[in-house]
């Protein structure tokens, strides 16, 4: 029998980044009791690292902007694989969610007439990103954190959830442990909201922190939910490449939004060559037009000039950089040059203060005088738990998901800035959905001791074994497999070999062992995190093998073209008899009135 403490709430929110905090605030505002659980200290979640801004069609800078254009940009960026209803709600509601943040105390940068300032970003037709220099995520998480403090939400920090508990088909709570002393805890809850973020730690080069081990993806999978679009992994085009210790660290897209230029080692603005035919007309034709656009940004003036090709979508820019480097046109450290040093140095420091500091402190590069060296870094999971757009409910009664852990919103490729808005739009909806569901449930849900004991035994196992694999060694092997076999470019045989290696790692995980006690033992924590990382990695690899086309962030060397037929389905992963099952499920059909928006867009572009 396991020893554990018990807490009881109506709604349990797992994860305290933007989505989790917003969900907890909303559920609590609906009058139900709420617990918020996070793996780190409160306020340290990955949202804090988001830099460039929140996309919302406030049309403060470009008056032509509206939700319809934001919707079309999101769907085009997602290569038409998005869940249309999520993209619609997101575009319609993000302006109000941003204003709400402001009312709760967020202090955004201002336009000259005192409104929230907006900047350009890749794939967004108009200047749409509300921001605070290059630390927008910090502003958002602190605002939500300080709001939540006064809402009576119970916060359990440094607590890792390892299993969702069920009463029959329904969610009945969750089991986990406290990192500090390893004591076990059962949260009885009528509804659980997953807001656990992504899974970047499975890759060797990533912008993600240690927490990003695909926990919510794996918890949902094991509880019977389905994961969609797992083949779509976003490699952010601009991570630091040098020095080695900071490889993968994010360089905000805001650099390009403020006029940053990409060049190869011959000094060529190579992005002009990589614009897809379908969007070429949205971008500057040559350096002269691109310069006119930047000059207008600097003056805060209107212009007819189109935006620079550096502001193409992330999937496209990442592929371009990868190919330039592969063709020998890279920098000494295997990246390309990103240059903002031609702008006034005071402006750069004001607009991109943390980038300035980051390069100065960590790479001895003064970005106001020299170019940066950048290359792709694993950044974001488009794929995730399938949810109902309006309520964020999964197919498991009582289980909800919001933010990066959910799937569908971003389709095959996410636009920069659409993540922070996703968090607050669907965080709020998940909180409301969970609160409403919980209020409609009977009081007593039963959790069998068997489930709890099994969860505890799983955690005890690596402590009782001797001489098995080291969890850190296993993590390095996993990262190597994902980097080599399931990276930016994929192909049949390479993916299949990767899956075979993942099967071996799964077996090896059973022998993993760790010394020491349960007292703040990071090696022990990693033993359990690895299981989630492997589930996610397998889902990514199997989905990537099944999608025999190139679309958005999924690039197949053996299927380089986009196949319109394959826009008709999402690949869904679920568990059947302990084995990963893959299905092609029809993508929900967009209603005619929304389809018309694209026709209108074609006309205005023609």
Partner 1 sequence: MREAILKVFRGTPVEAGKFITYKVPVEEGMVVLDAIHYIQGYLDPELSVRWNCKAAKCGSCSAEVNGDPSLMCKTRMDQFAEGEEITIEPIKTFPLIKDLVTDVSFNYEVNKQIPPFCPADDATWIFKQEDIDRVQEFRKCIECFLCQDVCHVLRDHERKDAFWGPRFFVRSAGVEMHPLDCGNRIPLLEEQGGLGFCNITKCCTEVCPEEIHITDNAIIALKERVVDEYHDPLAALLRRVFKGK
Q: Which residues are catalytic?
A: 236, 256
Stretch that binds partner 1, among 240-248, 372-380, 427-435, 447-455 (CB under 8 A): 240-248
365 binding partner 1? (CB under 8 A): no
Cβ(463)–Cβ(521) below 8 Å: no
244 binding partner 1? (CB under 8 A): yes
- CA 231-232-234 angle, 5° bins: 140
Nearest-approach distance from CB 250 to partner 1, in angstroms: 7
Nearest to 216 by CA among 460, 35, 436, 407: 407
286 binding partner 1? (CB under 8 A): no
Kindly identify the residues of this chain, within the stretch 540-599, that bind partner 1 according to CB under 8 A: none
250 binding partner 1? (CB under 8 A): yes
| Rounded Cα–Cα distance for residues 128 and 141 (Å) | 20
| Rounded Cα–Cα distance for residues 348 and 328 (Å) | 30
Nearest-approach distance from CB 176 to partner 1, in angstroms: 18
109 binding partner 1? (CB under 8 A): yes
Nearest-approach distance from CB 439 to partner 1, in angstroms: 26
User: Whose Cβ is closer to partner 1: residue 114's or residue 168's?
Assistant: 114
Cβ(351)–Cβ(133) below 8 Å: yes
472 binding partner 1? (CB under 8 A): yes
44 binding partner 1? (CB under 8 A): yes
> Residue 573 corresponds to which tokens in the numbers above?
């992963």
Stretch that binds partner 1, among 44-52, 434-442, 494-502, 571-579 (CB under 8 A): 44-52
Instruction: Tell the residue number behind the tokens 């959905």, with chain if given.
Output: 433
| Rounded Cα–Cα distance for residues 28 and 528 (Å) | 31
When binding is defined by CB under 8 A, the residue of 28, 33, 40, 264 that contacts partner 1 is: 40
Nearest-approach distance from CB 2 to partner 1, in angstroms: 22
The residues facing 584 across adjacent strands are 571
User: Whose Cβ is closer to partner 1: residue 203's or residue 559's?
Assistant: 203
Residue 237 three-state SS = strand
370 binding partner 1? (CB under 8 A): no
Nearest to 441 by CA among 6, 24, 7, 10: 10
When binding is defined by CB under 8 A, the residue of 10, 73, 93, 139 that contacts partner 1 is: 139
480 binding partner 1? (CB under 8 A): no
Residue 524 falls in which region: left (phi positive, over 0), alpha (psi -120 to 50) or beta = alpha
Stretch that binds partner 1, among 104-112, 218-226, 254-262, 560-568 (CB under 8 A): 104-112
10 Å CB burial of residue 580 (0-12, 13-18, 19+) is middle
Question: How many residues at the interface with partner 1, by CB under 8 A?
Answer: 65
| Rounded Cα–Cα distance for residues 177 and 525 (Å) | 9
| Rounded Cα–Cα distance for residues 344 and 341 (Å) | 8
Nearest-approach distance from CB 248 to partner 1, in angstroms: 9
Nearest-approach distance from CB 114 to partner 1, in angstroms: 4
Stretch that binds partner 1, among 43-51, 275-283, 322-330, 335-343 (CB under 8 A): 43-51
Stretch that binds partner 1, among 163-171, 221-229, 430-438, 513-521 (CB under 8 A): 513-521
When binding is defined by CB under 8 A, the residue of 243, 334, 560, 591 that contacts partner 1 is: 243
334 binding partner 1? (CB under 8 A): no
516 binding partner 1? (CB under 8 A): yes
> Residue 367 corresponds to which tokens in the numbers above?
């970005």
Site string for partner 1, 201-230 (x = CB under 8 A): --------xxx-------------------
DSSP 94: H
When binding is defined by CB under 8 A, the residue of 6, 41, 298, 576 that contacts partner 1 is: 41
When binding is defined by CB under 8 A, the residue of 273, 476, 510, 596 that contacts partner 1 is: 476
Cα 487 versus chain centre, distance? 17
In three-state form (DSSP H/G/I as H, E/B as E, the rest C), the secondary structure along 206-235 is ECCCCCCCCHHHHHHHHHCCCEECCCCEEE
Stretch that binds partner 1, among 131-139, 299-307, 435-443, 532-540 (CB under 8 A): 131-139
477 binding partner 1? (CB under 8 A): no
Q: How far is CA 272 from CA 306, 310, 311, 333, in A?
A: 13, 8, 11, 23
Cα 43 versus chain centre, distance? 17
When binding is defined by CB under 8 A, the residue of 514, 533, 572, 590 that contacts partner 1 is: 514
298 binding partner 1? (CB under 8 A): no
2 binding partner 1? (CB under 8 A): no
| Rounded Cα–Cα distance for residues 401 and 397 (Å) | 12
When binding is defined by CB under 8 A, the residue of 23, 34, 37, 48 that contacts partner 1 is: 48
10 Å CB burial of residue 150 (0-12, 13-18, 19+) is exposed
């Amino acid at each position: 029998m396991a020893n554990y403490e018990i807490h009881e709430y109506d709604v349990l929110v797992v994860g305290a980044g933007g989505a989790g905090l917003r969900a907890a605030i909303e559920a609590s505002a609906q009058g139900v009791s709420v617990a918020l659980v996070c793996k780190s200290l409160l306020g340290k979640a990955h949202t804090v690292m988001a830099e460039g801004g929140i996309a919302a069609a406030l049309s403060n800078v470009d008056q032509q902007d509206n939700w319809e254009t934001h919707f079309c940009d999101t769907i085009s960026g997602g290569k038409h694989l998005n869940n249309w209803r999520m993209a619609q709600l997101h575009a319609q509601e993000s302006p109000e969610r941003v204003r709400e943040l402001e009312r709760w105390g967020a202090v955004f940068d201002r336009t000259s007439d005192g409104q929230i300032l907006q900047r350009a970003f890749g794939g967004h037709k108009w200047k749409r990103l509300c921001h605070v220099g290059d630390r927008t995520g910090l502003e958002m998480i602190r605002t939500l954190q300080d709001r939540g403090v006064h809402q009576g939400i119970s916060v359990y920090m440094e607590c890792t959830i390892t299993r969702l508990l069920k009463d029959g088909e329904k969610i009945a709570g969750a089991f986990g442990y406290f990192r500090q002393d390893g004591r076990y805890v059962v949260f009885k809850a009528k509804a659980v909201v997953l807001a656990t973020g992504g899974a970047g730690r499975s890759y060797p080069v990533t912008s993600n922190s240690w927490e990003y081990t695909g926990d919510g993806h794996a918890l949902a999978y094991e509880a019977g939910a389905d994961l969609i679009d797992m083949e779509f992994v976003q490699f952010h085009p601009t991570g630091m490449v040098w020095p080695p210790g900071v490889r993968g660290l994010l360089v905000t897209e805001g650099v390009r939004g403020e006029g940053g230029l990409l060049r190869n080692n011959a000094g060529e603005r190579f992005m002009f060559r990589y614009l897809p035919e379908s969007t070429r007309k949205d971008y500057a034709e040559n350096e002269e037009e691109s310069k006119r656009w930047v000059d207008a940004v600097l003056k805060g003036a209107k212009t007819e000039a189109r935006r620079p090709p550096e502001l193409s979508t992330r999937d496209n820019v990442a592929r371009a950089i990868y190919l330039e480097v592969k063709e020998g046109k890279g920098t000494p450290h295997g990246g390309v040059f990103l240059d903002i040093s031609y702008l006034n140095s005071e402006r750069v420091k004001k607009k991109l203060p943390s980038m300035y500091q980051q390069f100065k402190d960590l790479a001895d590069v003064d970005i106001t005088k020299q170019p940066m060296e950048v290359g792709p870094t694993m950044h974001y999971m488009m794929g995730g738990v399938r949810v109902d757009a309006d309520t964020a409910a999964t197919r498991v009664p009582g289980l909800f998901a919001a933010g990066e852990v959910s799937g569908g919103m971003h389709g095959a490729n996410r636009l920069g800035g659409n993540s922070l808005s996703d968090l607050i739009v669907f965080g709020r909806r998940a909180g409301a959905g969970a609160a409403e569901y919980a209020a409609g449930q009977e009081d007593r849900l039963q959790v069998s001791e068997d489930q709890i004991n099994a969860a505890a035994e799983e955690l005890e196992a690596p402590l009782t074994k001797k001489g098995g694999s080291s969890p850190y060694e296993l993590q390095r092997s996993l990262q190597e497999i994902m980097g080599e076999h399931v990276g930016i470019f994929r192909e049949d045989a390479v993916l299949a070999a990767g899956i075979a290696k993942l099967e071996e790692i799964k077996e090896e995980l059973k022998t993993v062992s760790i010394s020491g006690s349960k007292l703040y033992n990071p090696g022990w924590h990693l033993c359990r995190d690895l299981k989630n990382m492997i589930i996610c990695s397998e889902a990514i690899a199997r989905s990537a093998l099944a999608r025999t086309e190139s679309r958005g962030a999924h690039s197949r060397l053996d299927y380089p073209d986009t196949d319109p037929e394959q826009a008709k389905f999402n690949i869904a992963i679920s568990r059947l008899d302990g084995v990963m099952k893959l299905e092609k499920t029809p993508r929900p059909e967009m209603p005619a009135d929304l389809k018309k928006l694209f026709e209108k867009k074609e006309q205005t572009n023609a």
